[in-house]
Every structure is written in structure tokens, then in C-alpha cells.
Amino acid sequence: MRALVVTAVVAEADSVATGLTPHPDDPGPESRTLPGGYLITRRDLPGIAFDVLVGGVGPAAAAAGTATALALADYELVVSAGIGGGFGPAAPLGSLVVADAIVAADLGAETPEGFIDVSALGFGRSVHLPPTELAARAAEATGALLAPVLTVSTVTGTAARAAELAARHPLAGAEAMEGFGVAEAAAAHGLPVLEIRAVSNAVGPRDRAAWRIGDALAALTAGFRVLGPVLANWGERHEHR
């Protein structure tokens, strides 16, 4: 099985690649550059090969980077991975969230009656659903919260905005900026998608001093140490259906 893991920035890609290191004596990942300037790193584990892509920040960049990689190689699974904000208290700093739904939380229209998402407007979809069994097994293996992950183009920085999102998506576990874009590209190629986020900050008033990016990146590495075999096992069973 071959899987594409899409991250926004190099630090996230490095954390994922470190988690996917097969053994302590491994010389480390080798990277190459795709057309468009996208950096991609290959990691091989028993039963599964991972290409870890630095796709860029935001849903549009993530969709473009993912689509480029998918056009150049054959994959069976796409994973959006990185750090993000957590909705407390269910997703505290340093914890992991695996998406059971990937939601475009601010794609739509503002009206006097409130926000209307793009699907209600009749212009497309606003939710992608990862394979139910795969998401559940990934969450169990990593100790993650299984919950919707919201994709936003503007990171939440106020209590009012956090309350608005929580009211519209009461089960949400995290917000990030790339998952829905990655999912759109995967869907265009007929591929399943998974999203995993490590929580670096609380969704709410912007407090840069309270962010724990290092802890979140360490959690992402630890998550991928155990996620590889889960994805390989799922892929083996999926291929023989």
C-alpha cells in the first residue's frame, strides 16, 4: 500500500517522517522536490510506503499540492496531518484528534439569519467522511479523540468566533487550515482520506505565549509511530475486498 501524507509546513513533515522511521539505525528520510516546488519525503515501513508532502498553508494551497502529488504517482490513501487548535476541554494541548468528519467550517455565506454553508447553498459539499473503521482504529491506536475537524481559512482568535463555531459544530474536536482542501483533491481521484491533528493551542482568544507547538509536534511524531501499522493493516484488508 502507498499513502500520501500532506502537511502544511516543513516542521510538520519532519515530525511525521520521524515518527515513520523504521528503526533506530535508519539513515533518515530523503527528500525531493516535485514540480511546483513541493517538497516530498519517502518513508518505507513493512506493508506500506509513505510519501510525506509539504503542501502549503490553507485549503487552497493544500488542495493544489495534494492534486499535484496525486497526478504524479499512484496512491491508495491520503492523510492530512499537522498541528491545530483544540476545542476544550475534550482536546487539550498536546493531545491528538482524528477526524470522523472533515468540515469546511467557513465556506459559505453570511446572512442576517446566520451562516449558510456551501452545501446548503447548493454549490457543492461542505463535509468529507473518512472511512469509519479506519478513523476509529486510528483514534484507538493513537489515543486520539475521534471527532469532527474543522477547516478554516482564518484561524480563530476571539472568544466570540470560538463560541460561534462551537454552536454550529458542537462535536468539533479541532480546527486547522488544510484538511478540507486535501479531502477535495483526494475525492477528485476517488481516494479515501484521513485527518489527524495534534493540538498546539486552544480554539479561542489568540494567546501566542500559551501555544505549545513543540509539544504538538512531539505528539504528532508519537502518533505516527503507531499509525503506520494501523494503516498498513487497513490497506491490506481493503485491497482484498
pLDDT recorded at residue 240: 46
Model confidence pTM above 0.95: no
Q: pLDDT digits over 18-47, tens only?
A: 999 876 666 666 788 888 889 999 888 888
Q: How confident is the model at residue 132 (pLDDT cuts 50, 70, 90)?
A: very high
Averaged pLDDT of the chain: 91
Q: pLDDT digits over 143-157, tens only?
A: 999 999 999 998 998
Phi, psi angle pair for 55, to nearest 5°: -95, -10
Contact in structure between 33 and 69 (CB atoms under 8 Å): no
User: How many residues are listed for the chain in this entry?
Assistant: 241
The C-alpha angle with vertex 77 and arms to 52 and 15, in degrees rounded to 5, equals 25
Contact in structure between 94 and 216 (CB atoms under 8 Å): yes
Q: How far apart are CA 145 and CA 223, in angstroms?
A: 12
Contact in structure between 235 and 7 (CB atoms under 8 Å): no
Contact in structure between 56 and 64 (CB atoms under 8 Å): yes
pLDDT recorded at residue 26: 65
Three-class secondary structure of residue 113 per DSSP: coil
Above 90 in pLDDT, residue 92? yes
Q: pLDDT digits over 77-86, tens only?
A: 999 999 999 9
Q: pLDDT digits over 166-211, tens only?
A: 999 999 999 999 999 999 999 999 999 999 999 999 998 888 888 8
